[in-house]
Chains A and B, each alone.
Chain A
Amino acid sequence: MKLKLANFFKQYAIVAVLIALVIIFSILSPAFFTIKNAMNILRQIAVMSIVVVGFTFVLLGGGLDLSVGSQIAIMNVSIALMIENLGVNPILAIIIGIAMTTAIGLFNGYMISKTEIPPLIATLAMMTALRGLAFIFTKGYPIYGVPESLKFIGQGNIFNLIPVPAVITAAVIAFGIILLNKTYLGRHFYALGSNAEATRLAGINVHFTRTTTYTLLGFLTCIAGLVMLTRVGSGQPKIADGFEMNVLAACVLGGVSVNGGKGTIPGAIIGAIIIGVLNNGLSIIGANDYWQKVITGIVLFTVVVFDSISRKRRRS
């Protein structure tokens, strides 16, 4: 009980930050606090939240994956190229794209677990190489030809109100919460990230567990990539550049520890909403992209510093 209460208050603090941001933007611009804009924000953060769920798995297990943005790029250009240049059936192309990108996640996890390369380095290499490949495949140009029929996934609304991506995101979040709280696999993620050696000595296959976190992230990244592809309508080699940093920032804002073993999906999602609200609110009040980056950086820094101070105080 005590544990839950402490968690609640910790998340409560971050919820307070969110409410404060909403109030500030509502005062600064009348266009912010409207249902239409709320749906806009939902659409904007849907893709990020899907990846945030997978990223939380990896962080909980003590890992890190910088290659998610590049995974989306390579998947999108591959699918577009298959449809446009090779005449592959769009559905089949999507299935191949998903399988391929999930395999990239599996490869990341397997290599990191077996060779004990620091995940930062391994996935940095993957990030750079995949991005390069995406440009080579496309010679730097967007590939069109994503059929209209698929655009429902990225652009459609249910009941003319709720964006389809938001529904997909809700399903992914539910999946994440259930996995972490109701299954033994979720428990193994926490154990692995808290103390890998003790987990191994408890008779748990840590290679499998670690690889699973990266594979799940790869799979969820595909889902997010699919939403992006069908929203943009073309395979772009530049897509999701710097995306991994936004996802990481959302997780950290939401209290997921980069040292592993600590964090929850609801927390991470609130982190994603904060980033979404910040970007949306700042563009509504007319701040340019550069200022958005500066302010996002400042908010991230402030929240992390406060969190660190409050934890220190609780310890003493």
Chain B
Amino acid sequence: MSNTVDNVVLSVQNISKRYAGIQALDNVSIDFKEGETHALVGENGAGKSTLIKIISGAEIPDSGRLVFKDQTFEKLSPHLAQCIGIATIYQEFNLFPTLSVAENIFMGDEILSNERKYIYNKKYYIEKAKKVLESMKININPVELIENMTTAKMQLVEIAKAIAKNSKILIMDEPTAPLSTKETEDLFELIGRLKQQGVTIIYISHRLDELYQIADRVTVMRDGKKIITTKIEDITRQELIYHMTNRKVEEIEFESTWEKGDVAFEAQGLCGNGLKDISFKVRRGEILGIGGLLGAGRTELARIIFGADKAESGKILVHGKQVEIKSPKDAVFFGIAYVPEDRKHHGAILSLPINWNITLPILKRISNKGFLKKKEENAIVDNLKRSLRIKAASMSQNVESLSGGNQQKVVLAKWLASKASILILDEPTRGVDVGAKQEIYNLIADIAKQGKAVILISSDMGELLNISDRLMVLREKRIVGFLEKNEFSQNRVLAMASGVY
């Protein structure tokens, strides 16, 4: 096996691609070796996705070649790419929710590989799926329906689908984004086993820390160009960020020196949505981090506080006064804001303009007898555009045309416009690139500095430990405990969250 490690399995040669006047890829050449995990990093718009699309056949390059083993291709089609053994696992899975695992794994192959042509042989595929899953040491029942599965398991089915097709190259786009710490470890183990079988993994991630755990080599892209390809151990995190952004991004150590005020928010014995007896306080100017594994009840808690789901019992006090929150409308009325984890479906309305998104919660307030005061609206939007540095040609362009970081800024702007005094931020930097991440951290700090209370939910441990003033850890829908800043450590949080504490 050792000498196969240096075999180049896929060679991307001098690929260029222009879209509508923008050079998305500029003469990019990369070699991918057999059995390696090759990380691809860069900010949004660096050209990673375009490159992936070309390798998987979804896009046709303007010039350049792809050499897969001994075959040279000017272009690929999705079908051809699959046939020669290139599989892609996108963030949004290509699975059929109402069908079983086995049916999903072999979808499209039935007619080709079945001796009894045109007649679907259920048993045969269940057996076949079982074998594939066993070979990968994945513990999933092949007759289970996709819609009943967790995100992590769906991802495993996607991988099984690729392996069943004998794929030699597996492209994974941000695979750990929806996973908990434990699930991430399981995924990494699986990737290790696939590598031993000679599968090449092309791995895209915004989480630089995990690259050092999983990647063999890394390629940095910026503005459509390849900047560098190197062994992961030969490059530091700082250097990676420098190559990605072409500027020194200071990863600011957070020190919240500002005053903490009175208690702004208090929950007493909150139950509902599976949660049991949740009591905590957040003070003005304080950032309370909520830690826990996936499914620990963090988002559920946020949704109850915001009135998006119903509380069964318990009290909520805002600035010392008990309030009744039955719907998001009530929550907004009492000055609570919620930035949901699913930005694209719950946070922003992608198909509407930026300015409409920003003023959505305050339209009534900026209206006179039902008529919008457009001047006031424009003034508010312009102000927030400047203070949040939202990068957009025009505020009347649709939110979907923005990068992830700028989309998130629009969602934040919406709640800053509403002058909310309590902000719940659920995964505020998911899918946001390094430079924009820092900007969002600074924004969160500014918000707290203004005397607002911030409740921060994040699966990014570094972020959670860095920004929070205090931590509350949840496990199985209950509070395990609180940590003060001087008690913060990754191991401690993980131990509390997983119950070995």
- Cβ-defined contact, B327 with A205, below 8 A: yes
From A9-17, A131-139, A177-185, A241-249, the one touching the partner chain is A177-185
Tell me which of A4, A184, A195 contacts B349 (CB under 8 A). Answer: A195
> Considering the complex, which residues of chain A in the window 181-213 have a beta carbon less than 8 Å from any beta carbon of chain B?
182-185, 187-188, 190-191, 194-195, 197-205
Q: How far is the CB of B84 from chain A (nearest CB, A)?
A: 25
Which residues in A have their C-beta under 8 angstroms from that of B397?
2-3
- Cβ-defined contact, B367 with A198, below 8 A: no
- Cβ-defined contact, A200 with B371, below 8 A: no
Query: In the assembly, what is the distance between CA of A204 and CA of B330, in Å?
Result: 9
Closest to A182 in B: B371
Question: Any chain A CB within 8 A of the CB of B347?
Answer: yes
- Cβ-defined contact, A197 with B346, below 8 A: yes
Closest to B59 in A: A316
From B68-76, B331-339, B448-456, B482-490, the one touching the partner chain is B331-339
From B26-34, B38-46, B356-364, the one touching the partner chain is B356-364
Question: Any chain A CB within 8 A of the CB of B114?
Answer: no
- Cβ-defined contact, A261 with B351, below 8 A: yes
Question: Any chain A CB within 8 A of the CB of B348?
Answer: yes
- Cβ-defined contact, B364 with A198, below 8 A: no
Question: Any chain A CB within 8 A of the CB of B306?
Answer: yes
Closest to A200 in B: B328
Query: In the assembly, what is the distance between CA of A58 and CA of B361, in Å?
Result: 21
Residue with the greatest number of chain B CB neighbours at <10 A, chosen from A199, A202, A204: A202
Which residues in A have their C-beta under 8 angstroms from that of B370?
183-185
Query: In the assembly, what is the distance between CA of A187 and CA of B358, in Å?
Result: 12
Q: How far is the CB of A181 from chain B (nearest CB, A)?
A: 9
Q: How far is the CB of A262 from chain B (nearest CB, A)?
A: 7
Query: In the assembly, what is the distance between CA of A197 and CA of B345, in Å?
Result: 8
- Cβ-defined contact, A194 with B352, below 8 A: yes
Closest to B415 in A: A202
Which residues in B have their C-beta under 8 angstroms from that of A197?
345-346
- Cβ-defined contact, A198 with B356, below 8 A: no
Given the known interface contacts A3-B396, A182-B372, the answer about A201 and B306 at a Cβ–Cβ threshold of 8 Å is yes
Given the known interface contacts A182-B371, A184-B364, the answer about A201 and B308 at a Cβ–Cβ threshold of 8 Å is yes
Q: How far is the CB of A205 from chain B (nearest CB, A)?
A: 5
Residue with the greatest number of chain B CB neighbours at <10 A, chosen from A2, A182, A195: A195
Q: How far is the CB of B316 from chain A (nearest CB, A)?
A: 16
Tell me which of B329, B340, B349, B356 contacts A205 (CB under 8 A). Answer: B329
Question: Any chain A CB within 8 A of the CB of B394?
Answer: yes
- Cβ-defined contact, B351 with A183, below 8 A: no
Query: In the assembly, what is the distance between CA of A184 and CA of B359, in Å?
Result: 10
Residue with the greatest number of chain B CB neighbours at <10 A, chosen from A2, A195, A201, A205: A201
- Cβ-defined contact, B349 with A203, below 8 A: no
Given the known interface contacts A194-B351, A201-B340, the answer about A1 and B396 at a Cβ–Cβ threshold of 8 Å is yes
Interface residues as binary, B42-66 with A (CB distance below 8 Å gives 1, 0 otherwise): 0000000000000000000000000
Q: How far is the CB of B377 from chain A (nearest CB, A)?
A: 10
Q: How far is the CB of B74 from chain A (nearest CB, A)?
A: 20
Which residues in B have their C-beta under 8 angstroms from that of A2?
393-394, 396-397
Which residues in A have their C-beta under 8 angstroms from that of B329?
203-205
Query: In the assembly, what is the distance between CA of A159 and CA of B363, in Å?
Result: 42
Query: In the assembly, what is the distance between CA of A225 and CA of B372, in Å?
Result: 32
Which residues in B have their C-beta under 8 angstroms from that of A1?
394, 396
- Cβ-defined contact, A194 with B328, below 8 A: no
- Cβ-defined contact, A190 with B394, below 8 A: no
Which residues in B have their C-beta under 8 angstroms from that of A200?
308, 327-328
Q: How far is the CB of B389 from chain A (nearest CB, A)?
A: 21
Query: In the assembly, what is the distance between CA of A8 and CA of B360, in Å?
Result: 25
Which residues in A have their C-beta under 8 angstroms from that of B333?
203
Given the known interface contacts A183-B372, A187-B372, A197-B345, the answer about A203 and B331 at a Cβ–Cβ threshold of 8 Å is yes
Question: Any chain A CB within 8 A of the CB of B430?
Answer: no
- Cβ-defined contact, B346 with A261, below 8 A: no
Interface residues as binary, A97-110 with B (CB distance below 8 Å gives 1, 0 otherwise): 00000000000000
Given the known interface contacts A3-B396, A187-B363, the answer about A198 and B351 at a Cβ–Cβ threshold of 8 Å is no
- Cβ-defined contact, A188 with B363, below 8 A: yes
Which residues in B have their C-beta under 8 angstroms from that of A188?
363
- Cβ-defined contact, B361 with A202, below 8 A: yes
Q: How far is the CB of A60 from chain B (nearest CB, A)?
A: 12
Which residues in A have their C-beta under 8 angstroms from that of B348?
198
- Cβ-defined contact, A202 with B332, below 8 A: yes
Query: In the assembly, what is the distance between CA of A64 and CA of B416, in Å?
Result: 35
> Considering the complex, which residues of chain B in the window 364-386 have a beta carbon less than 8 Å from any beta carbon of chain A?
364, 366-367, 370-372
Query: In the assembly, what is the distance between CA of A203 and CA of B307, in Å?
Result: 9
Tell me which of B346, B393, B398 contacts A201 (CB under 8 A). Answer: B346
Query: In the assembly, what is the distance between CA of A49 and CA of B348, in Å?
Result: 33
- Cβ-defined contact, B367 with A183, below 8 A: yes
Q: How far is the CB of B32 from chain A (nearest CB, A)?
A: 27
Question: Any chain A CB within 8 A of the CB of B414?
Answer: yes
Query: In the assembly, what is the distance between CA of A3 and CA of B355, in Å?
Result: 12
Q: How far is the CB of B342 from chain A (nearest CB, A)?
A: 9
- Cβ-defined contact, B328 with A202, below 8 A: yes
Q: How far is the CB of B466 from chain A (nearest CB, A)?
A: 27
Query: In the assembly, what is the distance between CA of A200 and CA of B347, in Å?
Result: 10
Which residues in B have their C-beta under 8 angstroms from that of A261?
351-352
Q: How far is the CB of B53 from chain A (nearest CB, A)?
A: 12
> Considering the complex, which residues of chain A in the window 15-61 have a beta carbon less than 8 Å from any beta carbon of chain B?
none
Q: How far is the CB of A6 from chain B (nearest CB, A)?
A: 10
Question: Any chain A CB within 8 A of the CB of B178?
Answer: no
Question: Any chain A CB within 8 A of the CB of B198?
Answer: no
Residue with the greatest number of chain B CB neighbours at <10 A, chosen from A184, A187, A261: A184
Question: Any chain A CB within 8 A of the CB of B175?
Answer: no
Query: In the assembly, what is the distance between CA of A184 and CA of B368, in Å?
Result: 10
- Cβ-defined contact, B331 with A191, below 8 A: no
> Considering the complex, which residues of chain A in the window 211-264 have a beta carbon less than 8 Å from any beta carbon of chain B?
261-262
Which residues in A have their C-beta under 8 angstroms from that of B352?
190-191, 194, 261
Which residues in A have their C-beta under 8 angstroms from that of B393?
2
Given the known interface contacts A2-B394, A3-B396, the answer about A191 and B372 at a Cβ–Cβ threshold of 8 Å is no
Tell me which of B360, B394, B398 contacts A204 (CB under 8 A). Answer: B360
Query: In the assembly, what is the distance between CA of A262 and CA of B414, in Å?
Result: 22
Query: In the assembly, what is the distance between CA of A3 and CA of B394, in Å?
Result: 10
- Cβ-defined contact, A190 with B361, below 8 A: no
- Cβ-defined contact, B327 with A199, below 8 A: no
Which residues in B have their C-beta under 8 angstroms from that of A190?
352, 356
Interface residues as binary, B387-415 with A (CB distance below 8 Å gives 1, 0 otherwise): 00000011011100000000000000010
Q: A198-B349, A203-B333, A203-B361 are in contact. List 17 more A-B contacts (CB 8 A).
A: A1-B396, A2-B393, A184-B363, A184-B366, A184-B370, A187-B356, A187-B363, A198-B345, A198-B347, A198-B348, A200-B308, A200-B327, A200-B328, A202-B414, A203-B329, A204-B328, A261-B351
Interface residues, chain A, with chain B CB atoms under 8 Å away = 1-4, 182-185, 187-188, 190-191, 194-195, 197-205, 261-262
> What are 7 sample pairs from A and B whose C-beta atoms fall under 8 A apart?
A184-B364, A184-B367, A187-B363, A197-B345, A197-B346, A201-B340, A204-B361
